[in-house]
Amino acid sequence: MKLLVPGLSFLMMLAVPVSVFGQAVYGSISGNVTDASGASVPQAKITVTDTGKGVTTTTQSNESGNYSQTHLIIGVYDVRIEASGFSAYVQKNVHVEVDAVTQVNARLTLGSVGETVNVTAEAPLLKTEKATSPTP
């Protein structure tokens, strides 16, 4: 009987799911950069700043004007988007949540980089991880 108890304990440990591995602690910001006519703006510089920590990361839009900044710690961020020949676009107070994608799309207007367009409305969260839609 003594041999069964250690073996049983081992089997019970295997049966218990380990939920601490693989927990998400990051979110992301992604979007599309276009000009006033709706055409894509490639190679726009996107600067994402964590307002609480002051940490800044940068990325660029691709040839389709899309960008994505992943692995952001949850918090509040400012997003600045710049491209040559356009006014800079700034959106403040962008909330990044765990395992969520926050959408920040920018429509740039003609001007110089020294000019800035500030947007104060908050972007809604968009969860792209699940392909479900609400049922009527």
pLDDT (tens digit per residue) in 10-24: 545 555 554 445 567
pTM higher than 0.75, yes or no? no
Say which CATH number the domain at 110 has: 2.60.40.1120
Q: Which amino acid type is present at position 95?
A: H
C-alpha 124 chain-centroid distance: 12
**CB 118: neighbour CB atoms within 10 A?**
11
Phi and psi at residue 8, to the nearest 5°:
-65, -40
pLDDT digits (tens, 9 = 90+) for 48-60: 999 999 999 999 9
Could you give the number of structural domains in the chain? 1
- Asked if residue 1 belongs to a domain, the reply is no
pLDDT in tens, 34-46: 999 999 999 999 9
What DSSP string describes 21-67? TT---EEEEEEEEE-TTS-B-TT-EEEEEETTT--EEEEE--TTSEE
Q: Is residue 48 part of a domain?
A: yes
Question: What do you get for the CA distance between the two ends of the chain, in Å?
Answer: 58
Q: How many CB atoms lie within 10 A of CB 113?
A: 13
Task: Tell me, rounded to whole angstroms, the distance of Cα 64 from its chain centroid.
Answer: 18
Residue 134 domain flag: no
DSSP conformational letter for 9: H
40 Cβ contact partners less than 8 Å away, ≥ 6 residues apart: 32, 33, 34, 61, 63, 64, 65, 66
73 located within any domain: yes
Domain assignment present for 69: yes
Instruction: Indicate whether 6 belongs to any domain.
Output: no
Checking if the pLDDT of 99 tops 60, the result is yes
**Enclosing domain of residue 35:** 23-123
